[in-house]
Amino acid sequence: MTNTQPDLAVAGLGVVAGAQPDRSQRMMAAEAARLAIADAGLQISDIDGAVDLRRTGGGGDRGSYSDAFTRVLGLPANFYFVIGRGGALAGLGIAAAASFLQRGLAKHVVLVGAVDDWSKSQRTKAQGHRGMAHAEKEGYWGKPLGDLRAASHHSWMAARHMAVFGTTSEQLGAISVQQRAWACLNPEAKMYGRPMTIEDHQNSPMVVEPYHLFDISQVSDGAIAFVLTTKERARDLAKPSVEVLGQGFGEVAADIWWEKKNFTQMAVHNAKKQAFAESGLGLSDIDVAELYDCFTAEVLFQLEDYGWCEKGEGGRFVADGNIGPGGSIPTNTGGGLLSCYHLGDLTGFAEAVRQVRGEAGDRQVPDCEVALSTGHGGELVSPGMCSIHTTTLLGKAA
Amino acid sequence: MVSTEEQTPAQSAPAEWNKPWPNIDKDSEEFWDGFTRHELLLWTCSTCSAQYWPKTYCIKHENEPWAANMSWQPSSGQGKLFAFNVHHWAFHPGFKDEVPYTYALVELDEGPLISSTMVGRMPSNADVGKPVKVVFEDHPEHGFSLPHFTLIDD
């Protein structure tokens, strides 16, 4: 352990999962925050800061709804703000809240993200859209041409990896199948009790070739909240402290935005370097990997980019069963976005906290000391790249 | 930099356009105008001739204010197929009659990557890296043209 690790720990976790057709995002957020505060053994009156994790936060907008969860829950927070970029929520939220905690401007910060995508998708289906109606940012290029949704451009990354390295759809399917095996050990997962085979994957409808339906993440309702505080405070609270060992950040735009390798890699390089340096840890220290998995190929890329296998070898690596239960690097152990639920990187982050605490039930990875949680996403970087990558390493208190 | 102009076509143009409107903003207006003349323009540096898409400051040297050394110049309109996908689902109702359609990422001969729908012969994986050229779909009643790409088969 080096002394450059941040003085940060996760003290409480609150999860609202499953379809919530009758509930607003702010009510889901308020309930998850209430659960997280109670989980830590704290009172609402102990919370002096609040962060709203929104996919649109990086646009600099106000919160995307009025009357935020802080007012609903009666939180006496001295500050409340919105941060997040696509699926990069927990990683950015921790980095932002850290400033308040480490300068003594707050003692306990609650961070929460909520989505009602499933309920919204049920409404927009009636208007003829397939899934959610989707507004893209100013400057987005391809919409009138048919580049309509994340699957429209993310599928190029899978297609390019296939063209360059010979990766196959069955190999991508091995990711879905192994994550589904994890989900079948997680009663909270949408796909609990519904095991999948490679044949099921291959027989699932083609959505945007090369992606079958089972290469694509869930559309979900729900909310996840956590309480962030300093290490010393966390040690005195109700649950085992989960410490933030290190973080790092990367952007494809920093790597020259037309770098064509960005269609067979993600912006992992700098994020990984920073997080390993700050934590004093390396790849072999990681017991569980919660890799952002909006689509199957993102998992494949990260397995290569972090170094569990060589670039181009990811297809064979996953086909050999390395990421499922009993595999060499247990990955997306709650089922992930593909088989559990899609609350951005909060899905994997919550699972990482549970694994480090030893609270993961039938899917608990033995002796889990260190978990990796990654975030990814944001507005499209022309002509088809998702920009940010966040690395967060969590571990047991020393 | 936030513009509200992009929302006006939806209110004023004829109703029969049933797809999303082109997202034309202050940085891309000249580029979209090029399509109506059947030109694929690239953002070109007068100092070093480097070519970009979309608009950017030249990364190869110090820039004049507002990237004044840059302008939109015609490209060859040719490139190579970099990657493609096939949309089997119409995410937007305006594409219901077009699925399955092939959407491609093209590496232009000048360097930048750009994307659009393929027309003509549909590619297979063996066509990745093969030459393509831009073709245009004109909509003068709406004031814009759309670019597509097609394989150059010889």
Task: Taking residues B107-121, report their average pLDDT.
Answer: 95
Q: Which residue has the tokens 């300068």?
A: A103
Q: Which residue has the tokens 């859209």?
A: A129
DSSP state of A325: T
Phi-psi category of A359—alpha, beta or left, where left has phi over 0 and alpha has psi -120 to 50? alpha
Q: Which of B21, B85, B98 is closest, CB to CB, to A159?
A: B85
**Amino acid found at A205:** P
Contact by Cβ (8 Å): A23, A222: no
Cα torsion for A282, A283, A285, A286, to the nearest 10°? 130
Q: Does A212 touch chain B (CB under 8 A)?
A: no
Q: Which residues of A touch B100 (CB under 8 A)?
A: 209
Contact by Cβ (8 Å): A115, A220: yes
Q: What is the pLDDT of residue B9?
A: 45
Task: Taking residues B5-33, report their average pLDDT.
Answer: 75
H helix intervals, A246-329: 268-279, 296-306, 314-319
Beta B51-52 vs B101-108: how paired, if at all?
unpaired
Structure tokens at A130: 């397939």
Residue-wise pLDDT tens digits, A153-170: 899 999 999 999 999 999
Task: Taking residues A132-157, report their average pLDDT.
Answer: 81
pLDDT reading at B77 higher than 80: yes
E strand or H helix at A370? strand A370-381
| pTM of the complete model beyond 0.90 | yes
Tell me the CA distances in angstroms from A227 to A5, A93, A94, A342, A358, one per residue in order. 19, 11, 10, 20, 18
Residues with Cβ within 8 Å of residue A169, at least 6 apart in sequence: A162, A201, A202, A210, A212
Q: Which of B21, B83, B87 is closest, CB to CB, to A146?
A: B87
Q: What is the pLDDT of residue A167?
A: 98
Chain B residues 112-151 with CB within 8 Å of chain A: 112-117, 125, 128, 146-148
Rounded Cα distance, A129 and A133, in Å:
6
Highest mean pLDDT among A59-63, A115-119, A360-364, B90-94: A360-364
Q: What is the pLDDT of residue A361?
A: 98
Task: Mark B59-81 as b/e (b = at least 16 C-beta within 10 Å).
Answer: eeeebeeeeebbebbebebbbeb
Kindly tell me the sign of the dihedral angle through the C-alpha atoms of A11, A330, A93, A67: negative
Q: What is the pLDDT of residue A276?
A: 98
Residue-wise pLDDT tens digits, B50-73: 999 999 999 889 999 999 999 999
Q: What is the pLDDT of residue A148?
A: 87
Q: Considering only alpha carbons, which residue of chain A is nearest residue B24?
A: A139
3-state secondary structure chain B: CCCCHHHHHHHHCCCCCCCCCCCCCCCCHHHHHHHHCCCCEEEEECCCCCEECCCCCCCCCCCCHHHCCEEEEECCCEEEEEEEEEECCCCCHHHCCCCCEEEEEEEECCCCEEEEEECCCCCCHHHCCCEEEEEEEEECCCCEEEEEEEECCC
Task: Taking residues A242-251, report their average pLDDT.
Answer: 97
Q: Which residue has the tokens 């929520």?
A: A89
Q: Does A172 touch chain B (CB under 8 A)?
A: no
- DSSP-based three-state secondary structure for A46: helix
Q: Which residue has the tokens 């399509």?
A: B35
Q: What is the pLDDT of residue A132?
A: 60
pLDDT over 90, % of chain A = 78
What mean pLDDT is reported for chain A?
92
Q: Which region among A59-73, A176-190, A259-273 has the lowest average model confidence (pLDDT)? A: A59-73
CA-based nearest residue to A384, from A155, A210, A56 = A155
- DSSP-based three-state secondary structure for A112: strand
- The residue that leads in pLDDT, B103 or A66, is B103
Q: Which residues of A touch B91 (CB under 8 A)?
A: 129-131, 134, 148-149, 151-152
Q: Does B53 touch chain A (CB under 8 A)?
A: yes
Q: Does A61 touch chain B (CB under 8 A)?
A: no
pLDDT reading at A127 higher than 80: no
**Amino acid found at A80:** Y
Kindly tell me the sign of the dihedral angle through the C-alpha atoms of A204, A189, A150, B130: negative
Tell me the CA distances in angstroms from A5 to A2, A62, A119, A305, one per residue in order. 7, 32, 40, 23
H helix intervals, chain A: 25-39, 69-73, 90-102, 117-125, 150-165, 169-183, 198-203, 231-235, 268-279, 296-306, 314-319, 336-339, 346-357
Q: Which residues of B touch A156 (CB under 8 A)?
A: 82-85, 105
Q: Which residues of B touch A147 (CB under 8 A)?
A: 103, 115
Structure tokens at A11: 């003290």
Banded pLDDT at A377 (limits 50, 70, 90): confident
Task: Taking residues A215-228, report their average pLDDT.
Answer: 96
Rounded Cα distance, B53 and A384, in Å:
12
Contact by Cβ (8 Å): B70, B50: no
Task: Taking residues B91-99, report their average pLDDT.
Answer: 92
CA-based nearest residue to A218, from A295, A325, A161, A112 = A295
